Amino acid sequence: MSFRLTPVLTASWGSERSWTLAAYEATGGYQALRTALGMSPDAVLQLVKDSGLRGRGGAGFPTGAKWGFIPQGDGKPHYLVVNADESEPGTCKDIPLLMATPHTLIEGAIIAAYAIRAHYAFIYVRGEVLHVIRRLLRAVEEARGAGYIGRNILDSGFDLELTVHIGAGAYICGEETALLESLEGYRGQPRLRPPFPAISGLYGCPTVINNVETIASVPAIVSGGVEWYRSMGTEKSPGFKIYSLSGHVARPGQYEAPLGITLRELLDAAGGMREGHELKFWTPGGSSTPLFTAAHLDVPLDFEGPPAHGSMLGTTALQIFDETTCVVRAVKRWCEFYAHESCGKCTPCREGTFWYVQIFDRLERGLGTAEDIETLLDLSDNILGRAFCALGDGATSPVTSSIQYFRDEYIAHYEQGGCPFDPVASTVFAGAGVS
């Protein structure tokens, strides 16, 4: 089947003053909220279950099931927390969404809170995006002023408070339990699970944590219905998805398409690789998903496709590199990132990422040995599955996959006594006569 682009979340990104309440309402915004408030919370939950919506933050867990884990009639406050801490290297979909159409997220959050019977919702947004924060804070105030947030929303009897919590620079806070710690005013270190947040989350109460794109998809599902939503994507991975293409492609950017599209099709949309160059390696969903190569151009990018080939869909952050790129240098830098962002709570991640950096440093400088490659693999074995949270597991992905596909390149580094690549050749200004 030939694919087509299906802009839904991105459809209004280019519109005049798209971030304002007026522009959002002019395209039917907050109608889904009216529809949802006319249904019972359980009916909204069932609708989302039936839609097959799966979490967009990386794990792909069914959203309706997650909502369904919240105990009802338990007498405790329930909380909705939107994870807008978008920090996974390569991932750049939620931030433009919040810049262009923050009301899509706010409407989704109100509907989601209603479905799980939460009266307090938080949007945890990373701190390093000042203008996005301005727009988000403004949108929340506009929504409050219009009666979409507060007491007795649209005369439904439903009350909701919504607070924007602004992070302060910590990748780990994208991990849901670290995010909760941060939101409670602590260092952002992950919690042991179980208990899962659905039972014991924020302040020890039942809590749903969903990614921005997940929650922003909810209004469209409510207004379009299950059949419409499922007419896009695949049986197990229904719906539309924002694919973020970056790197050595002719037209990097955000491409919204049905789940199951392939890199070959996306590259076609993005004008192919930059002129005169060919694909070498890419991440299907951020640096924490094992690398793919040109052999994986036809893997369907849904929740099933990449795992069948040793990777993951992740955040559909496709970082694409051509043959000028040194894979050892690329992976070294990711290792430095994970070492910097490791929260230090567990030994495998804290020490393992530290040693990754030491070993990659000497490999890239041509001072490595054959034993170093084996040490990297051994180290990866001792991190994967033994770290406290997914950060450690993710750190091993680029290491082990790059050795799997490009072992010769590692060997070339120590055989030649240095990196065989010219870093200038891989820059966007290569050939432009810059120093």
Partner 1 sequence: MSGATDGLPSTPGAQQGSAPLVVFDPRLGPATAAEDPLSPDARQRVRERAAEVIARYPRPRSALMPLLYLVQAEQGYVSADGIRLVAEILGLTTAEVAAVVTFYTMYRRRPCGAYVVGVCTNTLCAILGGDAIFQALQDHLGIGNGETTEDGMVTLEHIECNAACDYAPVVMVNWEFFDNQTVESARELVDRLRAGDPPMPTRGAPLKTHTEVSRILAGFPDDLADVGPSAGPASLAGLELARRRGESAPPRPGASS
Under 8 Å between Cβ of 20 and 135: no
Q: Which segments of 146-192 are extended strands (E)?
A: 161-166
From CA 89, how far away is CA 288, in angstroms rounded?
A: 8
Residue 196 in contact with partner 1, rule: CB under 8 A: no
Residue 175 in contact with partner 1, rule: CB under 8 A: no
From CA 288, how far away is CA 290, in angstroms rounded?
A: 6
Residues 41-70 interacting with partner 1 (rule: CB under 8 A)? 47
Residues 380-399 interacting with partner 1 (rule: CB under 8 A)? none
Q: Which segments of 305-403 are extended strands (E)?
A: 317-322
Residue selected from 53, 80, 81, 87 as contacting partner 1 according to rule CB under 8 A: 87
Residue 75 in contact with partner 1, rule: CB under 8 A: no
Residue selected from 235, 340, 416, 418 as contacting partner 1 according to rule CB under 8 A: 340
Candidate ranges 54-62, 245-253, 292-300, 382-390; the one touching partner 1 (CB under 8 A): 245-253
Q: 411 exposed, middle or buried (CB, 10 Å; 0-12, 13-18, 19+)?
A: middle
From CA 357, how far away is CA 44, in angstroms rounded?
A: 48
Residue 22 in contact with partner 1, rule: CB under 8 A: no
* Count of Cβ atoms closer than 10 Å to residue 138 Cβ: 14
Enumerate residues 6+ apart whose C-beta is below 8 A from 361: 332
Residue selected from 294, 357, 390, 412 as contacting partner 1 according to rule CB under 8 A: 357
Enumerate residues 6+ apart whose C-beta is below 8 A from 295: none
What is the smallest separation between the CB atom of 370 and partner 1, expressed in angstroms?
A: 23
Residues 283-302 interacting with partner 1 (rule: CB under 8 A)? 287
Residue 319 in contact with partner 1, rule: CB under 8 A: yes
Whether omega before 190 lies within 30 degrees of 0, making that bond cis, reads: no
Nearer to partner 1, 207 or 380 (CB): 207
User: 427: which DSSP letter?
Assistant: S
Supply the DSSP string of 104-126, one letter for each residue. HHHHHHHHHHHHHT-SEEEEEE-
Residue 104 in contact with partner 1, rule: CB under 8 A: no
Candidate ranges 25-33, 288-296, 379-387, 400-408; the one touching partner 1 (CB under 8 A): 25-33
Handedness of CA 418, 422, 427, 432 (dihedral sign): positive
Nearer to partner 1, 289 or 370 (CB): 289
Candidate ranges 66-74, 168-176, 299-307, 378-386; the one touching partner 1 (CB under 8 A): 168-176
Candidate ranges 150-158, 193-201, 408-416, 427-435; the one touching partner 1 (CB under 8 A): 427-435
What is the smallest separation between the CB atom of 11 and partner 1, expressed in angstroms?
A: 7
Under 8 Å between Cβ of 36 and 114: yes
Under 8 Å between Cβ of 301 and 283: no
User: 186: which DSSP letter?
Assistant: S
From CA 206, how far away is CA 90, in angstroms rounded?
A: 31
Residue 228 in contact with partner 1, rule: CB under 8 A: yes
Mask for 124-163, x = binds partner 1 (CB under 8 A) = --xxxxxx-xxx-xx------------------------x
Candidate ranges 106-114, 146-154, 357-365, 377-385; the one touching partner 1 (CB under 8 A): 357-365
Residue 212 in contact with partner 1, rule: CB under 8 A: no
Nearer to partner 1, 385 or 390 (CB): 390
Residue 336 in contact with partner 1, rule: CB under 8 A: yes
What is the smallest separation between the CB atom of 139 and partner 1, expressed in angstroms?
A: 8
User: 9: which DSSP letter?
Assistant: T
